[in-house]
Structure 1
Amino acid sequence: MWFDTRPRNLGPLPAGNFIWHDEPAQPGLYIITGRGWTSRGVAYWTDGRDARVIAVVGQSLLALNAKTGKRYADFGNGGEVDLTKGYDRPVESFRWGGPPLVVGDVVVVGGIPAAGGQSLPGDVRAFDVRTGALRWTFHAIPRPGEFGNDTWPNGSWERA
């Protein structure tokens, strides 16, 4: 069984003791005001040879070897994907409401828009489980040319 606890314990817990745990590469890296170093749960992926534990911690998507807890250096940037990157506009922080979802060879991650200011756009994104590369984005607020954009009058989709 793999799960996370606060603070800084993410890993398997057979017989009541952690075999390994993952800690941030830089102290304070995952600390977000009011949330601390936390996660909403983990996902598991295997292809029969490789097994990975996938987690969103702070603003990062992590891929960890299920047996050793080591990060995959070729996943994202040094073992993690910065979830504040890759949006159409700059975002200052990433918030989420649930664990990542693994479907086939992709990891699906949603975000929670914050009230006011430069919020997350509410996009749902999918990342390659092996490389961390962005595979696709579903825009909750449709862009021009996407179904439903015409229901946003006077370009209101740009301000939402």
Structure 2
Amino acid sequence: MKKYRVIGVPVMILGSTLVLASCSKDNDPELSRKEMMVGTWSIVQVAHDNNNNGIADPSEILTVPPGSTDVNTETFNANGTGMVRIKNAAADTTIAMTWAITGDDAYLEVTVPGAPTVNNKILNMTKTDLQLENSTNPDGKDWTWLKKQ
């Protein structure tokens, strides 16, 4: 009888471990970058590579101050359309755009009518945070950090 109990306990522990390991903390399926992109994102920081060293130095990063009434948002719809909204003391402007995730999910391509298409490299993306890099400016790279509303 002892033999079965000694063998049974490790088998039960192994079985329990397998069942628990197969459970996920988040029951949501893994979202694609395109699915994560849908919604409204607020710009929280921007930077321009003034010294052309290829990184966003702390002195080059501009952060939206807490309590600011300025609004800089980008809304991405599931059908590939969207809106950019820029609101400050001088103006409140919305601009239509189209967008796509391209290059094996590595780039966010944005097109505003009458302007060249911009390809932003996605440096980091979660369901709530997004960091983009743009290398098309001849004066140096630009970075944008966004937070989902």
TM-score by length of 1: 0.25
- Rg bigger for which structure? 2
Structure (1 or 2) with the greater strand fraction:
2
